[in-house]
Amino acid sequence: MVHIIKKGAPIYAMDKRNKPVATAKDGDRLIFEAYDCFEDQITDEAGAFEKLDWNRINPATGPVFVEGAEVGDILAVTIEKLDIGDTATLFTGPDAGVMGDELTENTIRRLPIKNGAIKFSEKIDLPLNKMIGVIGTAPAGEPVSCGTPDAHGGNMDCKEIGEGTTLFLPVNVAGALLAMGDCHAAMGDGEVSVCGAEVPCDITVTINVFKNKDWPTPFLVRDGKLSTIASAKTLDTASVMATKQMVHFVERYTDLTKGEAIHLLSLTGDLRVCQIVDPNKTARMELPLTYLTKWSTEELN
């Protein structure tokens, strides 16, 4: 069954008390209509910043109650299509991003998207790398702002969460309460300016519930790789967490010992930065699935 999840009443925190806007079942297809991270408030480059309502930043569409999803289960979200708008918005300025301490004025850009590229300037066309910035389930404890990533997912800003990706999220409360938004037409690892190429988007996904799986979440599978994702106050801590989570996969899906598993990651794993500009920083550890010799397509059935 296909469900269209309208964007008219977004949420700004992932919260077990959020009222579901729709109910879906295992195997259903969902289309989330999503605002950009500014809730489509910026329509021009001049004077737009002063008009911003900062209480409406990083909105997510949802949440969706998934029937049969119980605490301890894992929710798989397969991203089938990201149908983005035709204009990307970019912002940076004082106290924003990596260079915020050196900037004295805001820089806002509205860039056209044409023929599969972002027109960055007269001489620079950037290829699209469509991805979802905010995607997660409700945490079991206190609400978490949609601007903050954590163990439930949230604002991970991982550029690998795009078309063709299956993202695995924890079910912390009955029904999971899945929500998403903050899509980008492109973004590099780090998101150093404090945003990507922010766009409104219609997100088409298929959901599946997995039971009795001892998998550290969040993680994703894309293009023959498995990537563990972790968020923490510092990038150092997030990097260690993501690496340890990958060791769990290597131990389970190979015949290697823990010591051999960390050797393997030191030689073939890629530890990468997702973003360094949110309240929690996010890192991922990537490993080709070919090394996980006991992993098979049956794991995803």
Separation in Å, CA 98 to CA 117, 185, 194, 224, 230: 25, 21, 8, 32, 20
Return the pLDDT at 253: 95
Q: Which CATH architecture has domain 2-210?
A: Sandwich (2.60)
Whether the CB-CB separation of 161 and 79 falls below 8 Å is answered with yes
Q: Where does 219-300 sit in CATH, by number?
A: 3.10.28.20
Separation in Å, CA 259 to CA 76, 104, 262: 30, 49, 5
pLDDT along the chain (301 residues), means of 10: 91 98 98 94 73 84 98 98 96 82 84 95 95 98 97 98 98 98 97 94 98 96 97 98 97 96 98 97 97 79 58
Q: How far is CA 132 from the centre of its chain?
A: 5
Q: How far is CA 13 from the centre of its chain?
A: 15
Return the pLDDT at 54: 75
Half-sphere exposure of 188 (CA within 13 A, CB side): 4
State the span(s) of the chain assigned CATH 2.60.120.580.
2-210
Return the pLDDT at 102: 83
* Whole-angstrom distance, CA of residue 52 vs CA of residue 32: 24
Residue 139 gets which letter from DSSP? -
* Whole-angstrom distance, CA of residue 280 vs CA of residue 36: 21
* Whole-angstrom distance, CA of residue 280 vs CA of residue 301: 33
* Whole-angstrom distance, CA of residue 136 vs CA of residue 146: 9
* Whole-angstrom distance, CA of residue 30 vs CA of residue 161: 16
Is the CA virtual torsion 240, 245, 251, 254 positive or negative? negative
pLDDT, tens digit, 9 for 90 and up, residues 265-285: 999 999 999 999 999 999 999
Q: What is the CA radius of gyration of the chain?
A: 19
State the span(s) of the chain assigned CATH 3.10.28.20.
219-300
Query: Would you say the pTM of this structure is higher than 0.85?
Result: yes
